[in-house]
């Protein structure tokens, strides 16, 4: 599965890496750099270049469309990637000619990567032969995974049809123009005659031993087989939630707990919190003074939030709204207003909220051990009670500490609708299953980048 979903991304990454490396070596070498200085400049440029392209979303499963917007984002990422090199030149190397070298490197990297992306787009949608998928099941799960395949055209997968599961009682798929194979039809024959390369099982119940033996016999070695939940998870970056998968997640969570892992995460949390709090302290003081002068109220305040295993704590925030006694609504799922519509926000604080400066005091909670840098968003106790009553397994996200940022925040942002809250839970549980310290670091870097750009939810 991993190879199917990420091979194209790996190729793009390698082309980007080689292009940046060779361009930087050539152009900075032409400027007379050699030895240790050239080595350092190359390391800085390559690292910052790959990081900038990652932050611009170049290395995730998505449509590789050629558009003015994507061409601009590519250029913006490459320009940003050379800023650390320029700073190094000015502060350390202190020699002329660097402007020509930097501009030449940017132009060559941009032209090569843009041309490659155009060629890759043509190959992906005009030349590459799509993988042919057979889905076993004709229920809502089968329809959901089919919709995901259709929506992600860059995956280059084509649905052959749906095979009825043995003992299946209901059919939900009645449209879409796909062929539905009856229980009596030979799976092996379907695979051979239709050129199937991938089989996804999307049955409503566990497969019986006899049917498992039948599939093991009829499905050739060259054909890859996945469960619907596994395929959905890797394709979307979200966890498929039902009774079976949540129970499975519980056992995985229990067996994967580790003191060493907790200590490493705790060290990462404290160091990150201290650095962020120290670096932004002048900005926080300035915002606090302006808020104080606006209506005379306190700049810093606390809210009661729910943390790990339902334990509540007082979360610190900078006040960005006029003084009031706002509380969540008692009915319906839309319990908070969008930031654009909320008239309670102090005008100059709208960007403060978009850049998430108002949430930096949460670093105090992180240092105290009540929160982590990365994790699910901390919610009000009232909202947790409402969401838990309306969304199954919502409290499962409380198996881990609440976070200042998280997988859901960088993928989805702020949300208020019921379907969005349910999707946020899927992102949170996916993080719970996959979390590790390297992933935490990448999420934090992207969150900071998005916050500076005013795009973090």
Q: What is the pLDDT of residue 176?
A: 63
- Computed over every residue of the chain, the mean pLDDT equals 84
pLDDT score at 60: 66
pLDDT at 2: 43
pLDDT for 440 equals 92
Q: What is the pLDDT of residues 160-200, one digit of tens each?
A: 989 887 765 555 665 567 788 888 788 888 999 999 999 99
Question: Strand order in 198-201's β-sheet?
Answer: 179-181, 157-163, 131-136, 198-201, 224-227
Under the banding of pLDDT at 50, 70 and 90, the label for residue 3 is very low
The whole-angstrom separation of Cα 230 and Cα 253 is 17
pLDDT value at residue 133: 93
Tell me how crowded residue 202 is: count the other CB atoms within 10 A of its CB. Answer: 25
Residue 138 CA to residue 179 CA, distance in Å, equals: 11
Pair of tokens at residue 16: 């980007």
Q: pLDDT: is 211 or 333 the higher one?
A: 211
DSSP code at position 341: T
Average pLDDT over residues 266-278: 94
Question: Where are any strands of DSSP class E within 165-293?
Answer: 179-181, 198-201, 224-227
Residue 171, pLDDT score: 59
Read off the pTM.
0.82
What is residue 199's predicted lDDT score, i.e. its pLDDT?
93
Q: Ranked by mean pLDDT, which of 45-54, 149-158, 356-365 comes out on top? A: 356-365
From residue 304, give the alpha-carbon distance in Å to each of 327, 370, 379, 404, 408.
12, 12, 9, 15, 21
Domains of the chain, residue spans = 2-127, 131-236, 256-452
331 or 296: which leads in pLDDT: 296
Q: Where on the phi/psi map is residue 137: left (φ > 0), alpha (ψ -120 to 50), or beta?
A: left
Q: State the average pLDDT over residues 269-282.
A: 94
Q: For the purposes of burial, counting CB atoms within 10 Å of the CB of 241, is it exposed (0-12), middle (13-18) or buried (19 or more)?
A: buried
Choose the weakest-confidence range: 49-53, 55-59, 250-254, 308-312: 55-59
pLDDT in tens, 365-401: 999 999 999 999 999 888 888 899 889 999 999 999 9
Q: What is the predicted pLDDT for the residue at 395?
A: 92
Q: Which CATH superfamily is domain 131-236 in?
A: NAD(P)-binding Rossmann-like Domain (3.40.50.720)
pLDDT of residue 217: 87
Rounded to 10 degrees, what is the CA torsion of 99, 102, 106, 112? 120
Task: Label residue 63 by pLDDT band (50, 70, 90).
Answer: low
Q: What would the mean pLDDT of 31-59 be, rounded to a whole number?
A: 81
What's the pLDDT tens digit per position in 104-155?
989 999 999 999 988 888 888 888 888 899 999 888 888 899 988 888 887 8
Strands (E), 12-72: none
pLDDT per residue as tens digits for the range 388-442: 988 999 999 999 999 999 999 888 877 777 788 999 999 999 999 988 898 899 8
Lowest mean pLDDT among 47-61, 75-89, 361-375, 423-437: 47-61
Predicted confidence band of residue 4 (pLDDT cuts 50, 70, 90): very low
pLDDT at position 1: 42
Write out pLDDT tens, residues 217-234: 888 888 999 999 999 998
- Is pLDDT larger for residue 142 or for residue 345? 142
Q: How many of the other CB atoms lie within 10 Å of CB of 329?
A: 12
Q: Which of 46, 44, 33 is nearest to 109 (CA)?
A: 46
Structure tokens at 288: 């606090």
d(CA 378, CA 144): 29
Residue 305 has pLDDT above 90, yes or no: yes
> For residue 445, is pLDDT > 60?
yes
In this structure, what token pair is assigned to residue 225?
Answer: 């087989």
């Amino acid at each position: 599965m991993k190879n199917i979903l990420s091979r194209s991304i790996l190729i793009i990454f390698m082309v980007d890496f080689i292009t940046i490396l060779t361009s930087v070596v050539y152009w900075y070498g032409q400027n007379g750099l050699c030895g240790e200085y050239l080595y350092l400049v190359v390391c800085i440029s390559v690292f910052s270049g790959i990081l900038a392209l990652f932050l611009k979303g170049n290395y995730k499963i998505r449509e590789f469309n050629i558009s003015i917007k994507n061409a601009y984002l590519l250029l913006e990422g490459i320009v940003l990637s050379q800023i650390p090199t320029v700073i190094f030149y000015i502060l350390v190397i202190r020699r002329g000619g660097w402007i020509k070298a930097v501009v030449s490197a940017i132009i060559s990297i941009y032209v090569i990567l843009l041309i490659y992306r155009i060629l890759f787009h043509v190959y992906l949608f005009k030349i590459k032969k799509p993988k042919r998928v057979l889905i076993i099941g004709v229920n809502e799960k089968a329809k959901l995974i089919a919709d995901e395949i259709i929506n992600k055209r860059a995956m280059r997968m084509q649905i052959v049809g749906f095979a009825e599961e043995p003992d299946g009682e209901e059919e939900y798929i009645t449209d879409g123009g796909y062929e539905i194979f009856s229980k009596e039809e030979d799976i092996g024959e379907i695979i051979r005659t239709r050129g199937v390369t991938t089989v996804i099982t999307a049955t409503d119940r566990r497969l019986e031993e006899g049917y498992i033996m039948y599939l093991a016999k009829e499905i050739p070695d060259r054909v890859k087989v996945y469960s619907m939940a596994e395929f959905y998870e890797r394709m979307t970056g979200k966890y498929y939630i039902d009774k079976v998968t949540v129970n499975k997640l519980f056992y995985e969570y229990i067996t994967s707990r580790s003191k060493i892992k907790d200590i490493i995460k705790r060290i990462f949390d404290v160091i990150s919190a201290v650095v962020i709090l120290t670096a932004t302290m002048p900005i926080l003081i300035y915002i606090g003074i302006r808020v104080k002068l606006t209506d005379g109220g306190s700049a810093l305040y606390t809210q009661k939030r729910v943390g790990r295993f339902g334990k509540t704590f007082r979360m610190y925030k900078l006040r960005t709204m006029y003084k009031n006694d706002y509380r969540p609504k008692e009915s319906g799922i839309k319990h908070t207003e969008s930031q654009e519509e909320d008239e309670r926000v102090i005008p100059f604080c709208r960007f403060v909220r978009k850049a998430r400066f108002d949430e930096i005091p949460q670093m105090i909670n992180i240092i105290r051990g009540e929160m982590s840098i990365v994790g699910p968003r901390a919610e009000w106790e009232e909202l947790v009670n409402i969401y838990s009553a309306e969304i199954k397994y919502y409290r499962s996200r409380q198996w881990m500490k609440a976070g200042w940022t998280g997988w859901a925040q960088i993928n989805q942002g702020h949300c208020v609708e019921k379907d969005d809250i349910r999707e946020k839970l899927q992102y949170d549980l996916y993080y719970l299953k996959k979390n590790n310290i390297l992933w935490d670091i990448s999420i934090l870097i992207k969150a900071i980048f998005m916050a500076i750009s005013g795009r973090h939810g």
